[in-house]
Amino acid sequence: MAQNIDPVNGSNNSTAMKDGDGPTSATKHQSTSKRLQQELLTLMMSGDKGISAFPDGDDVFSWIGTIIGPQGTVYEGLVYKLSLTFPNGYPFTAPTVKFVTPCFHPNVDTYGNICLDILKDKWSALYDVRTILLSIQSLLGDPNNDSPLNGQAAQLWSDQVAFKKLLLEKFQDTKS
């Protein structure tokens, strides 16, 4: 366990101590940031269409992601920003993912909270930023109307013309 007292970790310790659980969290901290750096590398190489993400400033534990609404859905072409916050236990615990751009959707509430099983009880250590963003992108066009966070959106979903009209109105409001 000699790596627990690696002096290189010294700069990380201040954050670890703030969490209140001593030097062991410094190693966790380091292995989480190691994986996040790896993810950033593969994400930048992958060239997925319609999704992107990058750390928000110098902090590798908080990212800003962007999703473009998928083709053939009412969200087509709309651009949404999301925040991803990674706990020290990532990838063993899920990150907190929220819409920063207000999103009118049956499974998103007015604070941007998202109801998605893979971010809660179906989380797996194999998921990453890329698969999370792809899942949310596909959730846009394929909502789960049985457990809505936004009742109005869930009710209106069956009428796609009316839904799109209200969606675009609300989307324009967020820009002005």
Partner 1 sequence: MKVKIKRWGGVAIWKWNGVAVDDQCSICRQPFDGCCTECKYPGEDCPLVWGQCSHCFHMHCIMKWLNSQQVHQLCPMCRQEWKFKE
Catalytic residues, which ones?
Answer: 115
CB–CB of 100/83 below 8 Å?
yes
Determine if 92 is a binding residue for partner 1 (CB under 8 A): yes
| Mask for 154-173, x = binds partner 1 (CB under 8 A) | --------------------
Q: Write down how long the chain is.
A: 176
- Residue 46 in the binding site for partner 1 (CB under 8 A): no
Q: Which is nearer to partner 1, 35 or 81 (CB)?
A: 35
Q: 35, 118 in Cβ contact below 8 A?
A: no
Find the shortest distance in angstroms from Cβ 18 to partner 1: 21
d(CA 176, CA 172): 7
Does position 89 interact with partner 1 (CB under 8 A)? The reply is yes
φ, ψ dihedrals at 157, nearest 5°: -55, -40
Residue 160 CA to residue 163 CA, distance in Å, equals 5
What six digits make up the tokens of 86?
Answer: 């990674």
- Out of 7, 45, 58, 126, point to the residue binding partner 1 (CB under 8 A): 126
User: Residues in the site for partner 1, rule: CB under 8 A?
Assistant: 2-3, 27-28, 30-32, 34-35, 38-39, 42, 89, 91-93, 124-126
